[in-house]
Amino acid sequence: MGDRLKGKRAFVTAGSAGIGRCAAAAFAREGASVFATDIDEKGLASLKSDGVSEVARLDVRDSTAVAAMAKRVGKVDILLNAAGFVHHGTVLECSDEDWDFSFDLNVKSMHRTIRAFLPGMQESGRGSIVNISSAAGVFKAAPNRYVYGATKAAVAALTRAVAVDFITGPRDVREPAADGKARHRRGNRLARSLPRQRRERVHDGRRAYHRWRLDALILNLAINNNVIPGRVEDANPESRDSGSGPSDHPGMTDREEGMCP
């Protein structure tokens, strides 16, 4: 257990598995009070063992439910949006329904949660919003990820737009950098402070290594050390050149796309 997030309250969507669960557990390990949500109530129930203090079912496609949840939760210091869906196919295999569902879950859900929680951050004068995107759509195109890539590019634009409108202070909002080297080094420095047992899991394989590094980078973002507001932070710079990306399994959700080691 650490204390870098001690006294902070975090709200996480899609927290029952994958990136959302990994982030919720990481925040809890660092002393934050974490409220995790998902539509998978069984997965949520097991989060108590990860130190997550509160859980609740939430469909982020329901604007009324999101607004009601924000009132229930109150002010938060960290909002992490991890809900998403990976559609498999080209433009010729993407129906209007596929397009609408992907944008509703991958992009509009973030619009809903940010709109609901941002006023509380304004009142407090502080807060961190982390939106999970993908190299597929932000830095490169990926085969058979037509609408998925479009939604993830939209997430990056949405994030920058919120930063331009609401972040004030001595640091300027900047466009995403073309490389991820400096941010990769910062993530590694933070990762080195993680328990040795977690670091040794790097040897379990490449995907485990990337999950470990993402865990560290999410903490770096939340703690807000040396991170430029509004910038797209790349958790896996190598993925731009390697051709790697979301699994080719059709219909996979983002929650399933980065299981915690």
User: Active-site positions?
Assistant: 148
Distance CA 117, CA 127 (A): 10
Amino acid at 7: G
Distance CA 23, CA 25 (A): 5
Distance CA 21, CA 25 (A): 6
Distance CA 87, CA 140 (A): 17
Residues in the chain: 261
Identify the H or E element spanning 121: helix 109-124
Yes or no: say if 64 and 41 are a contact pair by the CB < 8 Å rule.
no
Yes or no: say if 83 and 155 are a contact pair by the CB < 8 Å rule.
no
Yes or no: say if 82 and 34 are a contact pair by the CB < 8 Å rule.
no
